[in-house]
Amino acid sequence: MAVSDAVDVVVVGAGPAGSTAAYRLAREGARVVFLDRMSFPRDKPCGGGLTRRATRILPFDVSPVVEDVVDKLDVRLRYSRMTHQVFRDPVAHMTQRRRLDHFLAERAAEAGAEFRDHVRVRDIETDGVLPVVVLDGGERITASVVLGADGANGVSGKALGLGADRMFGVALEGNAPMTPERERIHRARVTLELATVPGGYAWVFPKGDHINLGVGGWASEGPRLREHLSRLCRAHGVRDDELSAVRGHRMPLRRAWTGVARGRAAVVGDAAGLIDPLSGDGMFEAFLSSELATAAALDVLAGRAAGMEPYGGRLRTALAGHAATAWMARAAIERVPTLAWHVLRTRPAGRFLAHRLASRPPEVEVPLIGGVERAARRVLGPQAL
């Protein structure tokens, strides 16, 4: 059984959270190993939409892997009534995760992080002075800090006793070829279909040579997702047999703002359950949490902090307000969809949406905002509690 020398940080998972954490740490001179169980480039079920707030927080430009720039939004209600918004500036950049994640991992490796793909982490031991990451095959890597960035179905949360307070939504998506007609309708435009999937919505995203169609909602909608996706396809003139790469995945959402860091370990991104409860986006939250966890890890490495716990507080301050407004909007869309759709058509709502998609959320006091979130979730019922 091989035993590696201790490194500063092991990052488990090389998705958006893991690769950007590895990049930021390596750039500051830390000795970082980041691992992924898949061989890269690999795909991941995801719409691949990077909101402007997500690209803004990234420490480098991702335009080499951007396939479309979105400045138009159509919001439809029950596949019929339609509202159009045209924004002054782009609100999202469309990517494919196969290309984006490979690009992010390459940036981290260029910055000096050691990337090992096709390596599955089996366990993380925390009973010694330093955490030990155990790989399939038995190799053990000792690290001063471990970041769990292994997504919705990873092992690090369980192994570290972190990120447990998550609930899960589900989503299913597929791709249809871009045709001249689809080019005319969908280029630079995102379409959202409200009041179509309980606890969520349906979407159409434009990419380079295809459109991405997807549906997401409460976990209980799992058995009906195929049906929802077929309905979406019909509404957009896409035959079922045109759809390729149909894949489903879980979407983890936080129930409480606790349990994301302990001692010399923390979880980030989906491993921490940080998906936006309104939009289902998680890449902005993955980038933000990796930025905050990286800062905390550098403090531990420099002896300025004893553990990763300060990351938990900073994450709560950074995201609790954002999550509360998301739950409120979701409750409105779910309970009074027609009214919510009429509100969305108004100019102030359009301005608010553009601002939300483009900006880092304001930091807020948690006790007050926690109550707002709980109230919105109660309105949504047991599936949101």
* DSSP code string of 158-221: HHHT-S-SEEEEEEEEEEEE--HHHHHHHTTEEEEEESSSTTSEEEEEE-SSEEEEEEEEEGGG
Given 11, 33, 35, 147, the residue binding ligand FAD (CB under 6 A): 35
**Site pattern 117..156 for ligand FAD (x: CB under 6 A):** ---xx---------------------------xxx--xx-
- The interface with ligand FAD within residues 320-349 (CB under 6 A) comprises none
Given 25, 32, 34, 37, the residue binding ligand FAD (CB under 6 A): 37
Asked if 90 is part of the footprint of ligand FAD (rule: CB under 6 A), the reply reads no
User: How far is the CA of 25 from the CAs of 4, 220, 290, in angstroms?
Assistant: 19, 39, 10
Nearer Cβ to ligand FAD (151/310): 151
142 contacts 4 by C-beta, under 8 angstroms: yes
Query: Least separation, in Å, of the C-beta of 327 and ligand FAD?
Result: 17
Query: Least separation, in Å, of the C-beta of 338 and ligand FAD?
Result: 26
Closest alpha carbon to 48 in 99, 92, 97, 98: 97
- The interface with ligand FAD within residues 211-230 (CB under 6 A) comprises 214
- The interface with ligand FAD within residues 49-78 (CB under 6 A) comprises 49
Asked if 15 is part of the footprint of ligand FAD (rule: CB under 6 A), the reply reads yes
The tokens describing 57, both together, are 């927080």
What is d(CA 323, CA 126) in angstroms, rounded to the nearest whole number? 31
121 contacts 111 by C-beta, under 8 angstroms: no
What is d(CA 225, CA 219) in angstroms, rounded to the nearest whole number? 10
Query: Stretches 60-68, 184-192, 266-274, 361-369: which one binds ligand FAD (CB under 6 A)?
Result: 266-274
- The interface with ligand FAD within residues 150-189 (CB under 6 A) comprises 150-151, 154-155, 171, 173
Query: Stretches 47-55, 80-88, 232-240, 310-318: which one binds ligand FAD (CB under 6 A)?
Result: 47-55
For 78: left if phi > 0, alpha if psi spans -120 to 50, otherwise beta; the answer is left
Which helix (H) or strand (E) segment is 42 a member of? none
Given 166, 249, 316, 356, the residue binding ligand FAD (CB under 6 A): 249
Query: Least separation, in Å, of the C-beta of 203 and ligand FAD?
Result: 8
**Site pattern 278..317 for ligand FAD (x: CB under 6 A):** --xxxx--x-------------------------------
Given 251, 298, 364, 376, the residue binding ligand FAD (CB under 6 A): 251
Asked if 12 is part of the footprint of ligand FAD (rule: CB under 6 A), the reply reads yes
Sequence letter at residue 203: W
Cis omega (within 30 of 0) for bond into 41: yes
Q: Hey, CA dihedral for 146, 151, 154, 159, is it positive or negative?
A: positive
Query: Least separation, in Å, of the C-beta of 339 and ligand FAD?
Result: 26
The tokens describing 172, both together, are 């299913």
The tokens describing 97, both together, are 């995760």
Contact set with ligand FAD (CB under 6 A): 12-18, 35-38, 44-49, 120-121, 149-151, 154-155, 171, 173, 214, 249, 251, 269-271, 275, 280-283, 286
